[in-house]
Structure 1
Amino acid sequence: MRYRRFGKTNLSLSVFSLGTMRYLASPENAHQTIERAVSMGINHIETAKGYGKSEEYLGASWLGGLPVERSQLYITTKIPPMSDPDALEKAIDDSLTRLNLDYLDGLAIHGINTPEHLTEAIAGIVGIDRAIADGRVRHLGFSTHAPVEVILEAINSDRFEFVNLHYYYFFQRHAPAITLASQKDMGIFIISPADKGGRLYTPPAKLTQLCDPFSPLHLNYRFLLSDRRITTLSLGAANPQELDLPLQVADSVESLTESEQSTFMALETALEETLATDTCKQCYECLPCPELINIPEVLRLRNLAIAYNMTEFGKYRYGMFENAGHWFPGRRGDRCTDCGDCLPRCPENLDIPRLLRDTHQRLGGSKGRRLWES
């Protein structure tokens, strides 16, 4: 296991962090997963008020005994934005009680996904300032599923020491946020690179073939770990066994090899050759859409489904539209009214209404919810 400085917090975190959204089968399973993670060198555990009984299970693990001292393990929890400082302070105390802890190494405002969330978070932050002053909280950050513009605004507020965000090989829209956070010496925590990064633990045969001799999951981890600006990646194991495969690359933090770079180039070539003149280049110039369709994300999922046969991932994410609120905003492709508003703004001259309907036919179907609500 390698360790990196978590920005201005100066915490030295393992390059993989244990996320606790999925270990909820039982208190015993949670304890075994935590114990296994710690024994493999993970020193940062991230939980949240909203993750079912995750905090309670982590708190029970202290009572069950772990093979490290408290000072050797960093704990971050997350609470939603609140404009009332007193309510925010109470939420911190409630989390500390559930966790059986006297202090949090990290506290993240969970889900700054809209400008209103950011305003609310800043308004209530004095409650966190009080908790920092008396030692209950050591470092403040935020997690986000927001458009990049909101993320940049939150970073530029200069109120946060770290950020948890989505950024992967197959989704690089947030690259400017990575750059700005690094310039401001913020810790950078990547959310769910295996799952939200493409469900890469169960890749389709075509993607596996294109990535040979590497696995798609290996390549995505290497894409992230080779970037020295990124501190740590979330590993949301449902049980102890799910830690083993990802942590095989926990020491692979060097620059990309020539072979890895060639494989990434082959993936780009396959995308361009397969989609040809229907390739969405993810410029986002088509927004805003009068029908509130998240056109770039809809077409990104189409890109992946056609170029790499990532259809199951596409269905999984497409099903979140209109079902996950601000966590996955935007409407489905079948909401297009052929108004043509987006067409003159597309530098690739894509027939966007046709592509939206095609995506809905390919990926429409089951409705999805956030994992901890399923």
Structure 2
Amino acid sequence: MRYRRFGKTEMLLSVFSLGAMRYLESAANAEKTIWHALEVGINHIETAQGYGKSEEFIGQAMRNGLSKQRDRFYLTTKIGPTKDADSMRRQIEQSLKKMNVDYVDNFDIHGINLYEHLDLVKDPNGCMKAVREAIDQKMLGHVGFSTHGSLEVILDTIRTGLFESVNLHYYYFNQRNAPAVQLAHEKDMGVFIISPSDKGGMLYNPSEELSGVCYPYTALYMCDRFLLSDPRVHTLSLGAANPSEVDSHQDAWDNDAPMSELEAAVLDCMNRRYTLLENDRCSQCYQCLPCPEGINIPEVLRLRNLAIGFDMVEFGKYRYKMFENAGHWFPGNKAIRCTDCGDCLPRCPENLEIPRLLRDTHDRLHGEEGRRLWE
């Protein structure tokens, strides 16, 4: 296992962190998963108040002996922004009590996804007042934020200077937030990548086409290496649902060097798969927004890019069904809402026939409705 300095926090984190959202089956399963993660060298457990019973499961593991190993790992929890300090103060106390700990090494404001959320944390008498008090009282070590928001919201949140780290989406198959990674690097912030093997492409279940183009490596390995070969990235969430899933990243966690010639050649092959889209590839410039019907056009067309370029249809269906069902965590209406108004057409530098491509995406990916995991 490799370790990296998590920006100005100075915490030396393993390049994979145990994300605790998915081991919700039982307290016993959670405990086994945590212990196995520690055995392989993972030294960071990351949870959230909103992750079902995750904090309670961690608390039970603490009572069963994990507390004796407290010096072997860092612990992070996350709480959403609140309108007042008192509410945040109560919730911090509740989280610590659930986890049976006196402090957490790192604390994140969970889900700064909208400018309304950013306004809450910028209020000097709001939730951040309670966070600062908790830091002074040694209940919290460092403070960062997590986000599923737009690039503009992420950049403006980083610019506040209120945070030491950021949890964000950034993957080979979705590089929209690259400027945020760079700005965080310039400000010496820790960079934590959210769910790279799941939200990053459902890489544990790749299509035959994706597996083929990544040969002789796996898709999971190549996308891990895309991130870990970048020194600006510090740790990737490993959201294991059970102990066996921890080991799925073993080939990558000992290799954070620059890409080898063979790895770079495979990455080039992956890049060239987009030629299958011919003149219908969306370049993700985002100039088509805003859409009068609230369609997240770039994200819809990104899923189409992947479905055609890599036959990532199942992943596309998995993400597409979240539209209209996940609020600000995954915003936008389904492509079928397009009215052919043409508002986006003159703003597209590729001159894409956007309404046609939206309908095509809906036909390819529409399936059963979805919800966020812990709902």
Q: Distance in 1 between matches of 2:122 and 2:50?
A: 20
- Structure 1 consecutive aligned stretches of length 4 or more whose deviation exceeds 3 Å: none
Q: 1:302 is matched with which residue?
A: 304
The answer for unaligned runs of 5 or more in structure 2 is: none
Q: 1:140 is matched with which residue?
A: 143
Q: 1:330 is matched with which residue?
A: 332
Partner of residue 203 from structure 1, selected from 189, 194, 206: 206
Q: Distance in 1 between matches of 2:144 and 2:122?
A: 12
Q: Distance in 1 between matches of 2:231 and 2:169?
A: 16
**Post-superposition offset of 1:339:** 0.7
Q: 2:115 is matched with which residue?
A: 115
**Post-superposition offset of 1:225:** 0.5
**Equivalences for residues 204-223 of structure 1 within 5 A:** 204-223=207-226
**Could you report, residue by residue, the CA deviation over 1:213-256 in whole angstroms, capped at 9, with x for unpaired residues?**
11110000000011111110000100001111212311110001
Q: Distance in 2 between matches of 1:247 and 1:160?
A: 31
DSSP-derived class of the 1:207 partner: helix
Q: 2:372 is matched with which residue?
A: 370
**Could you report, residue by residue, the CA deviation over 1:103-142 in whole angstroms, capped at 9, with x for unpaired residues?**
1101101110000011112322001010011110110000
Q: 1:75 is matched with which residue?
A: 75
Q: 1:233 is matched with which residue?
A: 236
DSSP-derived class of the 1:105 partner: strand
**Post-superposition offset of 1:289:** 0.8
Q: 1:193 is matched with which residue?
A: 196
| Contact 1:334/1:357 (<8 A) preserved | yes
Q: Distance in 1 between matches of 2:304 and 2:69?
A: 48
Amino acid at match of 2:54: S
Q: Distance in 2 between matches of 1:369 and 1:157?
A: 32
**Post-superposition offset of 1:149:** 0.2
Amino acid at match of 2:352: L
Q: Distance in 2 between matches of 1:68 and 1:218?
A: 34
DSSP-derived class of the 2:145 partner: strand
The question of 1:285 aligning with 2:287 is answered: yes
Scaled by the length of structure 2, the TM-score of the pair is: 0.98
Q: Distance in 1 between matches of 2:70 and 2:172?
A: 35
**Could you report, residue by residue, the CA deviation over 1:83-117 in whole angstroms, capped at 9, with x for unpaired residues?**
21111011110000001111110110111000001
**Post-superposition offset of 1:343:** 0.6
| Contact 1:324/1:370 (<8 A) preserved | yes
**Equivalences for residues 23-62 of structure 1 within 5 A:** 23-62=23-62
Partner of residue 179 from structure 2, selected from 163, 166, 176: 176
DSSP-derived class of the 1:289 partner: coil
The question of 1:99 aligning with 2:99 is answered: yes
Amino acid at match of 1:114: L
**Post-superposition offset of 1:170:** 0.2
Q: 1:320 is matched with which residue?
A: 322
**Post-superposition offset of 1:263:** 1.1
| Contact 1:83/1:122 (<8 A) preserved | no
Q: Distance in 2 between matches of 1:282 and 1:146?
A: 16
RMSD between superposed Cα atoms in Å: 0.9
Q: 1:167 is matched with which residue?
A: 170
Amino acid at match of 1:256: M
Q: Distance in 2 between matches of 1:311 and 1:178?
A: 28
DSSP-derived class of the 1:139 partner: strand
Amino acid at match of 1:190: I
| Contact 1:31/1:61 (<8 A) preserved | yes
**Post-superposition offset of 1:261:** 1.1
DSSP-derived class of the 1:163 partner: strand
DSSP-derived class of the 1:112 partner: coil
Q: 1:355 is matched with which residue?
A: 357
**Post-superposition offset of 1:257:** 1.0
Q: Distance in 1 between matches of 2:292 and 2:242?
A: 44
**Post-superposition offset of 1:264:** 1.4
Identity of aligned residues (%): 59
**Post-superposition offset of 1:68:** 6.1
**Post-superposition offset of 1:365:** 1.9
**Post-superposition offset of 1:271:** 1.0
The answer for unaligned runs of 5 or more in structure 1 is: none
Q: Distance in 2 between matches of 1:167 and 1:347?
A: 24
Scaled by the length of structure 1, the TM-score of the pair is: 0.98
Q: Distance in 2 between matches of 1:236 and 1:192?
A: 7
**Post-superposition offset of 1:59:** 1.0
Amino acid at match of 2:317: K
**Post-superposition offset of 1:67:** 9.0
DSSP-derived class of the 1:69 partner: helix
Amino acid at match of 1:27: A
| Contact 1:56/1:99 (<8 A) preserved | yes
Q: Distance in 1 between matches of 2:212 and 2:252?
A: 20
